Amino acid sequence: MESASALRPLDESILRELPQLSLRIAPLREPVSSRTLSVPSPLEPNASGTREPNNIPNSNSNSGKIPANAKAGLPTVTEFLNAARIRKTELSADSQSNVERPPRPILPAFVNLRALEKFPFSSSFDDDALQGPRKRRRRDPQADSFSEHLQLPIPQAQKEQRPPPFGPFAILNGLNEPPPNAALLPPIEAGSNISQLLTKPSRGGAAVDPGTLVAAHVAISDGQSAAERRDTRLEDILRMSLNVDEDDDPNDNDENVESTNPMDPDEIALAVRKAEDPKNTKALPLHSGQDVPISPKTRGRSRKNVRKWTEEETATLLRGVVKCGIGNWTAILAQPELEFNQRTASNLKDRFRVLCPWAYRTSDPNEAAKQLHDTLANTLLKAKGEGSDETPGKPHLSHIMPSSQGSESISGAEGQAPNPQKPSTSSTVSSTPDTDPGSSSIPQSQSPSSGNSTPAPASKSQTTLASLGIPANVVKSKRRSRRPFTAVEDEALLKGYAVHGFQWTLIQQDSRLNLSHRKATDLRDRFRTKFPHAYRDGGSVNGKAFTNPNQGQGQDSAAGASTPRPHPVNTEQSPSKAYAMTPTPTPNSTTASRNSASRSRHAATPSQSSLGQIDPALLPPPPQSFSEHSMYLPPAAAGALSFSLDDGPGAGAASTVETPWEDNTLAPMIWDELT
DNA sequence: TTAGGGTTAGCA
DNA sequence: TGCTAACCCTAA
């Protein structure tokens, strides 16, 4: 109430300043971060780019309704908008385009000002809305094209044209402020297919309802021209390589959902990448008939370019391993004294794997080191032997086999090796039987290339190795062994994400998730890999950008709410399949219940059934995998989509709508009034 | 503590 | 050899 009274005078005062301020105060009533500027309101499809006065009436009932409410509650906004536009128009004919720009003060369609103002407590929303202008939070110059004309408060964190966040963040924002991004969800027409809406547009763009996502994204782009540009780009790309996608099974949205916003350059890149993906090409007639080069890298390379590893080079590699340790391939490459035939780190790795497969098999570091030494000794001896036999070999050998000094240097270098190895790993090794550097008695059979072959007996003295320039403490990279994520882990990760958002450490530490054996970064990486789009759209996680003040609670609910509970789905990618996140409660009832409320508040709120077109707006664009899940839901069921975690009969839309706002810290959006 | 990006393991 | 994903490093 207070805020309402406070607002009016404020707005009026602002209006009085209009002449001087021009449009600077436009955002007064736009609590939403800059994200809103770049994203169309789902409720007002035409919102961002061309919110012409005459458009408003044309918009659907929702879009029209909101302004109406706003006007009723706080006419100043509308008046201001009109005044601003008028003035702007009067000022310059040129400026008209500017006037039409998104920066225009926009009250998110989903925001019911009246409701907000009625709300007893001051929220962050209010703070943003009221204090924002006061604080002159317009320091961020990133307002692109229109920034030069309009000085709008734009959060620093906002990246231009950032795709709508999905998952926790969408909701997260909603907890403390109105959905930051109206375009979190495209407008949903009555009877529209929610699954389609929730599903990211296919690369072909066909999957997207022009009236929804595409239009929305186009609108959100800061400039129509930019959008068109990207659109053109996309079309080009699609024409080149993606057109076939349309031939894909319509039901097979797994891939399609991956690329979402056709307007998003990232998505374009992704589309390109996908187009080049051998997997895709298999299914693409486009490529099927062609002779092949699938990957760009592959394209430029021919079989004739294959560079076989010579003994010399192999020995050099081993020296590098000795010096830098197994696994530090780039470090080996970086060694000036080790010359390779234009090898890459990957090449070294692969070669070494062939040479010393055991190095990757054994779990015993000591054993690995031992075998490595044996192999090294054999290899070096062999190389030397060959070198002595073959004229050309000798010179190399001298290079390969360091002198005693060389060995010292090696040892020293090793000591300085970037990867300090566990003492245990560096075991001293057995040595090759024979011994002298000069002796090339090692049978060919012992050649390192026979990686599987048993290393030379332990009897080989260490002195031999030393004489060969092989330090006793060859170490294996401290790099942890790879542990592929299991379906269980993935599921836990998703749940953790739903609960904690991008707070990987929290996820990792959440005992209920049993992910403690992974590092936070591991989880992050996994999520990033598994849900690249989601990760991208999720925005900067940890809330630095999206997190609201009361992060804990906010994020929790946000996460739960926003994360459309992945429904069991068949994802094209195996891991995704495994996710099969059933609409079951999270492992921990605590979390589930805790999130339940928030989820119902936000996620469920959107339930189309009760809230009609508006609600979907709160449904964040699901991550691709989620989208996939959603695809299996009947449009009508979409409302329940996200809220599957809400176990219980009422999990559905209706019940969720009724969910109390008790712990809602956000300026409440009174949906009843919106509908 | 996370984001971003580089490196490396492992598979095809 | 290419590619993907797990792992790692480092700036913020």
Q: Is the pLDDT of residue A552 over 70?
A: no
Check whether A65 has a pLDDT greater than 70.
no
pLDDT on residue A347: 83
Give the confidence band of A311 by pLDDT, cuts at 50, 70, 90.
Answer: confident
What integer pLDDT is reported at residue A353 of this predicted model? 76
Residue whose structure tokens are 């891939």: A255
Instruction: Strand C proximity: list residues 306-345 of A with CB under 7 Å.
Output: 306-307
A519 touches strand C (CB under 7 A): yes
pLDDT at A259: 36
Answer yes or no: is pLDDT of A378 > 50: yes
Chain C positions within 7 A of any protein Cβ atom are: 1-10
Whether A87 shows a pLDDT value over 50: the answer reads no
End-to-end Cα, chain A, rounded Å: 22
**Is the distance between the Cβ of A52 and the closest atom of strand C smaller than 7 Å?**
no
Instruction: Please state the rounded mean pLDDT for residues A267-281.
Output: 38
- Residue A20 CA and nucleotide B11 C1' are separated, in Å, by 66
Question: Nearest residue to nucleotide B10 when comparing alpha carbons to its C1'?
Answer: A482
Mean pLDDT over A366-395 rounds to: 57
Contact residues for A257 (Cβ-Cβ < 8 A; gap 6+): A199, A200, A202, A207, A624, A625, A627, A628, A631
pLDDT of residue A166: 44
Q: Which nucleotides of B are covered by protein (CB under 7 A)?
A: 1-11
pLDDT for res A385: 62
Burial class (CB in 10 A: 0-12, 13-18, 19+), A6: middle
Query: Does A205 score more than 50 pLDDT?
Result: no
Least Cα distance to A280 among A213, A359, A204 occurs for A204
**Is pLDDT above 80 for A495?**
yes
| Cβ contact A327 with chain B strand, < 7 A | yes
pLDDT higher than 50, residue A326: yes
Q: Which tens digits make up the pLDDT trace of A128-169?
A: 333 333 333 333 333 333 333 333 333 333 333 444 444 444
Average pLDDT over residues A221-241: 41
Q: Which pair of structure tokens corresponds to residue A10? A: 């404020």
Q: List the A55 CA – C11 C1' distance (angstroms).
A: 46
- Whether A570 shows a pLDDT value over 80: the answer reads no
Instruction: Read off the pLDDT of each residue in A205-234 and give the average, rounded to a whole number.
Output: 38
Q: Answer whether any strand B atom is within 7 A of the Cβ of A451.
A: no
Indicate the pLDDT class of residue A89, thresholds 50, 70 and 90: very low
Q: Check whether residue A521 has its CB closer than 7 Å to nucleic acid strand C.
A: yes
**Predicted local distance difference test score (pLDDT) of residue A310:** 78
CA of A465 to C1' of B8 (A): 27
Protein residue nearest nucleotide B8, by CA to C1': A327
**Nucleotide with smallest C1' distance to residue A528 CA:** C5
Distance CA A425, CA A641 (A): 51
- Has residue A578 got a pLDDT over 50? no
Q: Is the confidence at residue A325, as pLDDT, over 50?
A: yes
How confident is the model at residue A456, as a pLDDT? 41
Percentage of chain A exceeding pLDDT 90: 0
pLDDT attached to residue A557: 34
The answer to whether A347 CB sits below 7 Å from nucleic acid chain C is: yes
Pick the residue with more confidence: A107 or A371? A371
pLDDT at position A506 over 60? yes
Q: How far is the CA of A468 from the C1' of B4 (A)?
A: 42
Q: What is the pLDDT of residue A384?
A: 62
Three-state DSSP state, A44: strand
Structure tokens at A59: 């918009």
Closest CA to C5 C1' — which residue?
A529
pLDDT, residue A610, reads: 32
Q: What integer best gives the mean pLDDT of chain A?
A: 46
Taking the CA of residue A344 and the C1' sugar atom of nucleotide B6, their distance in angstroms comes to: 14
A175 pLDDT tier (thresholds 50, 70, 90): very low
pLDDT tens by residue, A1-13: 334 344 344 444 4
* More reliable by pLDDT, A319 or A193: A319
User: Which residues in range 345-374 of chain A are in contact with strand B, contact meaning CB within 7 A of any of its atoms?
Assistant: 345-346, 349-350, 353, 360
Average pLDDT over residues A56-69: 36
Quickly give A645 CA vs B9 C1' distance in Å: 37
Taking the CA of residue A322 and the C1' sugar atom of nucleotide C9, their distance in angstroms comes to 23
Whether the model clears a pTM of 0.85, i.e. scores above it, the answer is: no
**Selection from A142, A147, A183 nearest residue A163 by Cα:** A183
Looking at residue A512, its pLDDT comes to 87
Which nucleotide is nearest to A348 if distance is taken from CA to C1'? B8
CA A213 to chain centre: 20
